[in-house]
Structure 1
């Protein structure tokens, strides 16, 4: 966990594949600990073809059944089906500029400047708007809290405490 937070969490992710992976993992994390998802990350990558959007978008019923048998991942039918649907929705966004453009368009104009952990929100007006924009385009498991976690993890917002050695380093 520490290595993830020190080297990856909060660093800007601007590629379709990178954002689709993080969106998918955040959806699978819903109701579980992030440590569980990180331990299974490589298995998720293998099961979902490296989170290649086009490959996942082409998954069918046989793939859903295969994934439900994969003990290396979280075997939740709703989340698996949502991930496949989210891949299709991601591909459909390409004519509009793509998933990166949509997610990054919700970056707050005024950066958050938390001084204590209690000042770090669990959602913001921007994460509420992002969740609504994604749902309107057919995405699932994209609630405001989950989208805020995505925004933090991918560098869209920086919630490191003022004075942190990593604040603003990306």
Structure 2
């Protein structure tokens, strides 16, 4: 999820909800985002299909809000065969047109074609280290320790390097900011605010 917290001038850091739990502003109000934040965002994803799905969805998010993508995720999973790279790699132009006609997803031809190309690149990576291992190989030695939303990076040296390597391997819509959002989403870095009840929940970063 690319950073999209509030655009307000004052950054309150965390907001304590009615349940007594502290969350960042972006996860404090919308029930869908709150549940995603509490149960999924930042937790380790280390399997090929899981990483491929998140690469795909982060790519579709470019220029949009994560809430939009999250609400459409069930439709995305149905339209893209549950993000099975083997199935998607065999998609033809007929499938592209089918997806372009599907109002349940983001109908962007370049992003759809990139998702197909990325499935084929994912399969090629099996001859080497595999997509999940490749992405996780860019885990940094330290993770940010933000107290406010403004202190959270939007990219890093590692996300820049990951973007460059994935592009070299034939991936598309994998820019440095998108890859940093991926690294946050699957636990490679922990950008939970220090006062959030989810800080350290991944078990990878303990502080």
- The alignment's TM-score, normalised by the length of structure 1, stands at 0.98
Residues 1:72 and 2:104 are matched in the alignment: yes
Deviation at 1:10, TM superposition (A): 0.4
**Which structure features the higher share of helix residues?**
1
Looking at structure 1, the residues matched to 160 and 198 of structure 2 have their Cα atoms a distance apart, in angstroms, of: 26
Larger radius of gyration: 2
1:11 aligns with 43
Residues 1:144 and 2:144 are matched in the alignment: no
1:62 aligns with 94
The residue correspondences of 1:1-170 to structure 2 (distance < 5 A) are: 1-170=33-202
Looking at structure 2, the residues matched to 129 and 116 of structure 1 have their Cα atoms a distance apart, in angstroms, of: 26
Looking at structure 1, the residues matched to 159 and 151 of structure 2 have their Cα atoms a distance apart, in angstroms, of: 16
Deviation at 1:114, TM superposition (A): 1.6
Looking at structure 1, the residues matched to 44 and 123 of structure 2 have their Cα atoms a distance apart, in angstroms, of: 21
Deviation at 1:115, TM superposition (A): 2.2
Q: CA RMSD in A?
A: 0.8
Give 3-state SS (helix, strand or coil) of 1:95's partner.
Answer: coil
- The alignment's TM-score, normalised by the length of structure 2, stands at 0.81
Give 3-state SS (helix, strand or coil) of 2:127's partner.
Answer: helix
**Count of aligned pairs between the two proteins:** 170
Deviation at 1:95, TM superposition (A): 1.5
Deviation at 1:168, TM superposition (A): 1.0
Looking at structure 2, the residues matched to 60 and 154 of structure 1 have their Cα atoms a distance apart, in angstroms, of: 30
CA displacement, residues 21-80 of structure 1 (integer Å, 9 cap, x when unaligned): 100000000001111101110000000000001000110111001100111100100000
